[in-house]
Structure 1
Amino acid sequence: MMDADKAVPGATAVLADFAAGLTFEDLPKDVVDHLKLAVLDGLACCLHGATLPWTRMVADLVDHDGGTPEASLIGMLRMVPVANAVLVNATAGHAFEMDDIHRDAITHPNSIAVPVALNMGERLLGTRRAGVPGSLVLTAMAAGYEVACRVGSAAGTDLLLRGFHPQGTVGPLVAAATAARMMGLDAAATAHALGIAGSLGAGLMAAQEGAMVKRLHSGRAAEAGVRGAELAAKGFTGISDMVEAEYGGFLSAFAGKINIDRAVQGLMPGQDMQWEVLRTGFKPHAMVTSIHGALDALRAVMTDNNLAAGDIARITAYVSHPTYVHCAWPYKAQGITAAQMNLYYGLTMIALDGEAFTAQFTEDRIKAPEVLAFIDRIDAEVDPAIEAEGPGARHMARVTVVTTDGRTLSHTERNRRGSPENPVSAADLDRKYNALAVPVLGEAKAAKVKDFVAELDTVEDIRPLMNLLTA
């Protein structure tokens, strides 16, 4: 993506140059098709999230602040300033653990990129006579995905294991690159947008054990990225070597290592472009992605052997070390957030209910006596064989079930359902969309949104979509 005869700049500059120069014509068809699915999935997550109490609290706060009504709150009947809109909408997108996931970056790009691109598009509609085409939205989203997922992958599990939440730390880069591209910032201004947003990232993983604030990390990331782009457009400066700085840079501070090669992979002279968009998968379970392999493995054991929950005496889940640290802590019914992040609760839902979706995460269900009793049948261990396969096997899981009649049954799930290697079907995504969007919009509006997004790459103006999304 760079000329070979030019001096090699730092990683931050390389990423900014890529994002600023990206055009819709650069996007291969499979990338465009995936991004349209990411938009539909992201909107479904935002719509469902808009109904939840933690999102409503943030929306109430924003309403109290007032300001210029320039961007929509998705699933709500009002408009607010754009930075406040993305704060609410990206909180909603991450509000129920159903947004997409880039495994190596440990980041959920669509819950940030979708509202940022659409809300920034609304601001553009208010400042110019021409419409905002869907192709610009998709291009800006691609910039956000490609920049942030490279940096997040360079940080890898080290960032997570040091206690930082990738959505709150990597997420601002999704938002900054997306917003900068929507605004048409040049490479220098985009670098400053990234340098500002990267300095504002935050989020502690202890939030997963019951705190609503985990959801807010995504909203704050979106707000930081938009603010970074807005300030950069005014000439405000950020950290010029934010990604690669040896002291206090993103990689050195959050990950304790500086993996520049991964941060700019595919963007240097002589390298083949590898689209991070296509390394992003969708989530069929409303739970942390790290345990989806274990959930799928248990479901396979039960289905293949015609087992019911009453047939199970013991379950042992063998997982990677990052998954064990992240998700295998003692379950105490601390709240819905904790239930969605907990391996033992997830396996219990598969055993008892056959799924882990919206109905499995209510205040009554997460503390039901039969749930707490079944959790006592489950153990988890770090599997040395999975660890030996390296970071790429982080989501791999092996589940062993001992039945009440003495049989020992096992299944290994290398690639979770919904991953790029084991994608969910179009029908599965359609069911997920309908389950989340129809209760908010109604069948007619939800169908119109779906039809509009299917043609997003060709529409001349996003205004009809935004009108549909204000329920």
Structure 2
Amino acid sequence: MTEATTATVSERLAHFLVRNGDLPEAVLHETKRLLLNQLKASVGAHGHPAIRILHEWATKDGGHGASVHWHGTPTSPQAAAMVNGALYEVLDFHDTYIPCFMHAVSAVLPAVLALAEQRGASGQGLLRALALGVEAELAVATILMPTGYYRGAVPAGLTGGVGAAAACSVLAGLDEARTVHALGIAMCTAFGLYASVGSMTLSYITGATARSGLSAFELAERGFTAPVTAFEGDRGMFQAQCDEDRAKIGPTLATLGTDWRLLGQTYKVVPTETITHGPVECVLALRPRAAGRTIERMTFLVNPLVQAIADERRDRFGVPSSESEATFDLRHCAAAAWLRDRFTTAETAPACYTDPDVLALRDRIDLIADEGRKTFEGCSLEITFTDGSRETHGIDNFLGTPGNRVPDAKLAQLFRDYGGTLPAGRADTIIDTIWALDTVPDIHSLTNLLRIEP
């Protein structure tokens, strides 16, 4: 390969992917956590209307080699990547890499897991491929964001295919030359508009991105080619997808394999988008102090971007009319959490988002931009009651952020909580298998467990 100073972005990424050896222990463990987190995000989604439609459509022609999580449907790796990617996304209960506003694992894991299932890969092979694929994806995202997001892209839609192609290339042992082409194909075929938020289409984008990354790998493995300058070349990914400074490229790539970005992931403990976690946590912390008082108004001080996003959606959605709109309506989530003393998938269901009491409280919630909040990891809440009294609460790092990590035991319990439809004992078996996955010789030991039926 050429020297780093003259190598293209695809070449530098491929060099990292092919030449990187065993994962550091902390990275290996975090990769297991990320895998368990995605299963937690998806196990309660198998009956979601969007998944029902995608499952029927993607698997209608049959196929074999891989399977759809929780349904147990045998199908092609392409179809499995599509549906499983949507499963990870649809409840918005997955990981978030806050610096890039993205869900880094949701498109990478379904592609590489479908390939691992088809080829009978080992657990260790899957974990290594997943970690390296996510790192490649996060490097690309770090270069493209935030202006890629501001332009209107779904960040994981832009970069998820790159991560998926990278992970699949690692799992299959592609050489550097073919890995360069896999990455280039994925870069040239990136997609996903943020206008999809609040609709079923967002989950489709994640699934389609996973499938696209898998396709990029499969084509490159067969000798299909892509431009070596697909990222930084004239009319390449960088020019087309962002307004960032090109000076970011070199320093970002220079940290590959030393500063592991996946260690900075945020995990969700309630099923809603990341910007809503701080407000919901504040609500649930203040609620026991209400002592029967009636709320006059709730006022949140939030990162300015949070206010802008929430207000735009209020104007666009109006009153929530679907589970997806309720999930992405911060005011609805805060009101529902207060009145129900919890936040679960039931709080985005029709019975909740049409509840007159929830709607009335939703209309008494204000968001004020706090210029001192540089990210949305924290916020503060002041509640004014009808008797004139007030209560306040603030957080700097909601549970799940790198500054307030979710313990392994809590993450496992969340999977148990949302896996209530699994056969007795199945959740614990899955958890134990994941913690020991690097010793499992065949990934089917895990994938055979990912079904609701006994």
Specify the TM-score bucket, using the shorter chain as the normaliser: over 0.9
**Among residues 276, 295, 312, which one is paired with 2:295 in the alignment?**
312
Show the counterpart of 2:11: 13
TM-fit CA distance, 1:309: 7.7
Contact residue 117 and residue 179 of structure 1 kept, 8 A:
yes
**Among residues 271, 281, 284, which one is paired with 2:269 in the alignment?**
284
CA distance in 2, matches of 1:144, 1:357: 31
The DSSP-based 3-state class of the residue aligned with 2:299 is strand
Which string of whole-angstrom CA distances, capped at 9 and with x for unpartnered residues, describes residues 248-297 of structure 1? Answer: 333332222245536752636xx881101101121011111022122223
Confirm whether residue 327 of structure 1 aligns to residue 291 of structure 2.
no
**Among residues 429, 432, 436, which one is paired with 2:411 in the alignment?**
429
User: What aligned pairs does 1:356-395 form with structure 2 within 5 A after superposition?
Assistant: 356-386=343-373, 389=374, 393-395=375-377
The DSSP-based 3-state class of the residue aligned with 2:343 is coil
Moved more, 46-55 or 278-287: 46-55
CA distance in 2, matches of 1:446, 1:272: 33
The DSSP-based 3-state class of the residue aligned with 2:308 is helix
Contact residue 154 and residue 260 of structure 1 kept, 8 A:
no
Show the counterpart of 1:129: none
TM-fit CA distance, 1:310: 4.7
**Among residues 119, 123, 135, which one is paired with 1:124 in the alignment?**
119
Q: 1:6 to 1:240 in 2, by over 3 A?
A: closer
Show the counterpart of 1:149: 138
Q: Which amino acid counterpart does residue 425 of structure 2 have in structure 1?
A: A
TM-fit CA distance, 1:95: 1.4
Confirm whether residue 189 of structure 1 aligns to residue 178 of structure 2.
yes
Contact residue 266 and residue 273 of structure 1 kept, 8 A:
no
The DSSP-based 3-state class of the residue aligned with 1:412 is strand
Which string of whole-angstrom CA distances, capped at 9 and with x for unpartnered residues, describes residues 58-115 of structure 1? Answer: 111122233x311111111321111111001111111111011111122223333332
Which string of whole-angstrom CA distances, capped at 9 and with x for unpartnered residues, describes residues 293-314 of structure 1? Answer: 22223333334xx126853211
Show the counterpart of 1:295: 280
Q: 1:402 to 1:259 in 2, by over 3 A?
A: farther
CA distance in 1, matches of 2:102, 2:17: 18
Show the counterpart of 2:235: 248
Q: Which amino acid counterpart does residue 91 of structure 2 have in structure 1?
A: F
Moved more, 236-245 or 211-220: 236-245
Which string of whole-angstrom CA distances, capped at 9 and with x for unpartnered residues, describes residues 113-135 of structure 1? Answer: 3322221112212xxxxxx2111
Show the counterpart of 1:409: 391
Show the counterpart of 1:46: 42
Contact residue 243 and residue 250 of structure 1 kept, 8 A:
yes
Q: Which amino acid counterpart does residue 175 of structure 1 have in structure 2?
A: A
CA distance in 2, matches of 1:154, 1:36: 26
CA distance in 1, matches of 2:342, 2:362: 16
Show the counterpart of 1:59: 55
The DSSP-based 3-state class of the residue aligned with 1:152 is helix
Show the counterpart of 1:458: 439
Contact residue 36 and residue 412 of structure 2 kept, 8 A:
no
TM-fit CA distance, 1:6: 5.6
CA distance in 1, matches of 2:286, 2:225: 55
Q: Percent identity?
A: 26
TM-score, length-scaled by structure 2 = 0.92
CA distance in 1, matches of 2:55, 2:105: 20
CA distance in 2, matches of 1:272, 1:84: 32
**Among residues 347, 355, 361, which one is paired with 2:334 in the alignment?**
347
Show the counterpart of 2:324: 337
Contact residue 168 and residue 217 of structure 1 kept, 8 A:
yes
TM-fit CA distance, 1:385: 2.1
Gaps of 5+ in 1: 126-131
- Count of matched residue positions in the alignment of Structure 1 and Structure 2: 448
Show the counterpart of 1:176: 165
TM-score, length-scaled by structure 1 = 0.89
Show the counterpart of 1:79: 74
Q: 1:266 to 1:349 in 2, by over 3 A?
A: same
Q: 1:308 to 1:37 in 2, by over 3 A?
A: farther
Contact residue 112 and residue 171 of structure 1 kept, 8 A:
yes
Q: Which amino acid counterpart does residue 252 of structure 1 have in structure 2?
A: Q
Contact residue 251 and residue 258 of structure 1 kept, 8 A:
no
Q: 1:242 to 1:412 in 2, by over 3 A?
A: farther
CA distance in 1, matches of 2:160, 2:250: 15
Confirm whether residue 105 of structure 1 aligns to residue 103 of structure 2.
no
The DSSP-based 3-state class of the residue aligned with 2:102 is coil
The DSSP-based 3-state class of the residue aligned with 1:314 is strand
Q: 1:385 to 1:91 in 2, by over 3 A?
A: same
CA distance in 1, matches of 2:33, 2:4: 37
Contact residue 94 and residue 268 of structure 2 kept, 8 A:
yes
Contact residue 135 and residue 260 of structure 2 kept, 8 A:
yes
Q: 1:6 to 1:191 in 2, by over 3 A?
A: closer
Confirm whether residue 230 of structure 1 aligns to residue 218 of structure 2.
yes
Moved more, 418-427 or 282-291: 418-427
